[in-house]
């Protein structure tokens, strides 16, 4: 079994779309470990705030199979591919980590660069897996979070049950 972490975010009907995504992931992968949900302002464009979280689960699926599941869930949410990445979206699901795999072959890009760039990815990921060592840097995720500039993009925890 492989430990997988996905980042989920939405700023169009986020409660509904995140609940749907979690429900679909549970149907496909069983028990999920969920981080807290965090609200943050969009980066790179004006729009409604995003709600973000990270989910973890164990699976025998390949990274490619997980990417196909992600595409299927995006389709259910009505996510239009090929549009401006710096725009509002009903759902964004990203494969962040697939154990310690390092791969950059479409459609699999792990570890996802967003982990070390955005607080809304790193904080919930470090919450779920503080002792996990980043496959490229070798540092524990909790250490990355301690060193992260929290002031650049503040987060607010949201009491949302999924």
Number of domains in the chain: 1
Per-residue pLDDT of the chain (162 residues; tens, 9 = 90+): 999 999 999 999 999 999 999 999 999 999 999 999 999 988 877 889 999 999 999 999 999 999 999 999 999 988 776 655 666 889 999 999 999 999 999 889 999 999 999 999 999 999 999 999 999 999 999 999 999 988 888 899 999 888
pTM given for the model: 0.94
Q: How many CB atoms lie within 10 A of CB 70?
A: 22
Per the DSSP assignment, residues forming a β-bridge with 105 are 108
Q: Provide the residue range defining the domain that includes 120.
A: 2-158
Given its phi and psi angles, is residue 70 left (phi above 0), alpha (psi -120 to 50 degrees) or beta? alpha
Per the CB < 8 A criterion, the answer to whether 55 and 41 are in contact is: no
Which tokens belong to 58? 């164990």
Give residue for tokens 């962040």.
96
CATH number at residue 135: 3.30.70.560
């Amino acid at each position: 079994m492989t430990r997988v972490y996905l980042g989920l975010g939405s700023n169009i009907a986020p409660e509904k779309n995140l609940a749907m995504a979690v429900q679909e992931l549970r149907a496909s992968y069983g028990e999920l470990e969920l981080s807290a949900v965090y609200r943050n302002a969009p980066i790179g464009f004006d729009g409604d705030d995003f709600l973000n979280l990270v989910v973890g689960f164990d699976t025998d699926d390949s990274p490619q199979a997980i990417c196909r599941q992600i595409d299927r869930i995006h389709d259910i949410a009505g996510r239009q591919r090929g549009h401006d990445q710096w725009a509002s979206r009903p759902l964004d699901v990203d494969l962040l980590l697939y154990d310690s795999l390092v791969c950059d072959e479409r459609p699999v890009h792990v570890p996802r660069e967003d982990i070390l760039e955005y607080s809304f990815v790193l904080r919930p990921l470090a919450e779920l897996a503080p002792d996990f060592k980043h496959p490229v840097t070798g540092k524990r995720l909790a250490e990355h979070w301690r060193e992260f500039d929290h002031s650049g993009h503040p987060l607010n925890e949201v009491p949302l049950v999924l």
